Structure 1
Amino acid sequence: MFRPQEAEEQGMAPARRMAAGRAASFANPAAFARPVACGSAVLDLTELAPPADCNPGNWRERLARADLVPDLAEDIGSRRWWRGMGTLLGLIVLALGFWPDFARLDAAPAMAVDAASAEEFRAQSIMPLARGGESGRRMGPTRAYREVPFVPERAEIELTSVLSPGDSLARLFQRAGAASDDAARAEALIAAQAEQGGIAPGTRVSFVLGPRRAPGEPRPLVGAQLRARFDLALALHRVGAALALQKLPIAVDTTPLRIRGTVGDSLYRSARAAGAPPQTIQEYLQALDAHISLEGDVQPGDSFDLVFAMKRAVTGETEVGNLLYAGLDRGSAPVAELLRWGNDGAFYSASSFTTESWVQGGAGMLLPVNGRVTSSYGQRFHPILGYSRMHAGVDFGARWGSPIVATAAGVVSFAGYHGGHGNYVRLEHGGGLGTGYGHMSRIAVAPGERVSAGEVIGYVGSTGLSTGPHLHYEMYRSGHTVNPLGTAFATVTRQVDTRDLDAFRAKLVQMKSLRTGAALAAAPQKIQRIAMR
């Protein structure tokens, strides 16, 4: 069952016996410390590095143990450090040896094209005639070909051109080749019938030029036709040697257009979806904004109602005018009924026949917002910062989104975010007087813009250091804040003249009795085309 150790060792493979011998040598310190002879060399086993000629395969192990990439920041100047430096320099030389060549690459020479090949290419190419292009293969002359001394011109040329901004009819005719005296005469005849300011840019002008009297001379103007006004077209035609003008009136329907709809997520988008023009919607929102809060009083499901002036010619063109009526209903109850009235174009509420503005007694300055004073000018305990400090203005409590107006005419010196003031507008009114408006939800003006008294400059909000929606109003004299309540504000009501109340009510009934879309019922027709010859 058990064999002697000698038999066990004899039964081992040579490699196993060698490994066992090395293990036994390392396990015996005394034998390990004795130097041994290997040929003519004497080995010291304590160095654990026998000579290469004793075992030729050991150079691979020594190469594997060699540190070719040491940290060059350590042992500077040592053999190990110089070995790493040599490795680095060798890699640099190797990288430079593989550096790409950026020398210029010569292109292949262009293909030589003889006359026959060039003609073949030309015959198959396509190029605009205006640039000298020709298409098709050239053919040799035949009996059907005959040279003529000159190419005859067309007797008359019919052209259509569009009047550009800053251009004139006379220059337009002359550029087309008309005689200068005909162009000047035609412009004078047309200008006498056009609106103040002349023919509008973008007007299409159709005209006919006659045959030249001699080669190289300008052509005479035979006739022309254009739209001088929305309700008038003009036609020029030649009678003998002179030009005559004929008026062509265009029937125009001036019935106002009424658009109604239901407010969705956005009043503006709902009105646009109903077909209202963008400029009319802006007028509508501005009219409502002066009487109600667009953010607080307008709710989804409300009904908007607007009537605006509109012209529609029998030719199909339309022209949108001013907003005439602005209404907003919630169910069967009106929220706002506003009618444009008077020469100033102001909107008056149908419920009271008044418009309101707030004027400061004596100084002629308006109250910035329709609200009540919630915090006065002076030292106070700040509700957010938690300590007392100077309150350099007056706070007016108002609903979120209420319009804020300029208290006097001036220039916007600042409009943007201003620290604790949040969205802030500063106006300079001249004479060292300035006003500031803080905590706005939105700003409606820009720096450098000139505003008039009562013009909306923003909307009540709660931006900056604020506990709720309100307006922080400041007044400056010579750069220093003063108490804005130094003079009392008074409310002044402007009413419709009592002699006009019946007419006002009748106009309001007329606007509300219009059928929605009634102005779009007319069928378009075409203008009679006058012979321009």
Structure 2
Amino acid sequence: MPQFDPRRSSFHLAPRLFVAVAGIAALGVGLSLRHAAPSKPLAAQPASPVAVAALQAQAFAQSSAPAGFSAPVETPVTVRSGETLQAAVLRTGVAPDEARQVVTELGKAFDTIHIKAGLAFQAAVAGPLDRRGPLRLVGLSLRASPVKSVTLARSFDGSLRLRELEEKVRDETTVAKGQMNGSLYESAEAAGATPTLTAEVAKLFSRKLDFSRDIQPGDEFKLVFDRKVTESGRTVEAGELLYAEIGAKGQVTRFYRFKEPGAAQPEFFDETGKNIKGFLLKTPVDGARVTSGFGMRMHPILGYTRMHQGIDFGVPTGTPVYAAGDGVVEEARWAGGYGRWMKLKHTGGWETAYGHLSGWVVRAGQHVHQGQVIAYSGSTGESTGPHLHYEVMNAGRKIDPKSAKVPAGTILAGRDLAAFRAEKAHVDQLLAGAPQNAASRNLADAGTILLR
């Protein structure tokens, strides 16, 4: 195994970390470390971002390189696909027995067997002064989970000491807002939303907006959602989306989440209590841009003008395609120039069709629900590149999906409307700037440092 020589690098970890620890101590944030039996925690203190940094700094700074070894040097390691944690530790240059010991110690703090590729850690290693033999691990630090940090440090007697720190986690309702700068995904992520949450927002507004044409840079958005968040502000898990708002085309579109009594699932309603779940989606794919509209056009392959009886959405191959409405799969077959083709039959004489697919998820005769993934986009048939061809038909006549006047959703009334207005008032209060702590529900208080 190739080994790296610490003396070839001028970066010495310990002196810099001693300075960092001294700075933290000067601020009164130093951690208390006391000896005790390995099976019992030696200290328990609230975990804060500064405490996390202090824990790592002390773990390395208080570690000792064995006699006859050089000063420790830091090396970053990332677990590769199909690689065990022990194999990753071996890549630091330590001996197999030492790598096995390191993983055994780490196993006291978290599951070291079922790890995922991409797990990263920092290891401080020291090389023998005579450049013979393997390196020795002096310290190691990693984040075992979104809320837990773990370090190992070698003591003066050669033993490894394990330290664990868990940050406090709280459940809260939060407001994320910002302006469109790039895609909705990029803008919402910058405001604190997760990709999963943003995907729900995109699907929600696909009923009302064309993201490729209606959204402009500078358009504003607001989201209200539940989340689990650490002390340092990292979102551990995003919960339910409660409200979504986008200002575009000179008007603001607002959606409120509400579960009707007796309903199986919550739905989204506009300000008046009207269910926004229209009969059909205007855009059955996320993040799409219109590359060809409904009407006469020059066919890009055939080379002459003819009617284009649908809309083309430019999306990468493999993009999920959603059922535009509840219905039954009428066709799932090869259809000449349309390539892999699917047609859904809805109520009231309505049908939707999807062309140039790379694959199907459902089969003919199967019932589907609006928003369900039914296929994946592709470039099969007569196609110049990856895209989705989408058609809407009523009573056998093909119509423009963007201007199709499809049936509207239900409207709340009576007690249901009163209950909806009460939940709407709560969300409006948050949007108006109610104190964040009034909206937060602190359910967990698990911030501790465990020193073995």
Under TM normalisation by the shorter chain, which class is it?
0.3 to 0.5
Report which structure shows greater RCO (CA 8 Å, sep ≥6).
2
More helix by percentage = 1
Larger radius of gyration: 1
Q: TM-score, normalised by structure 2?
A: 0.45
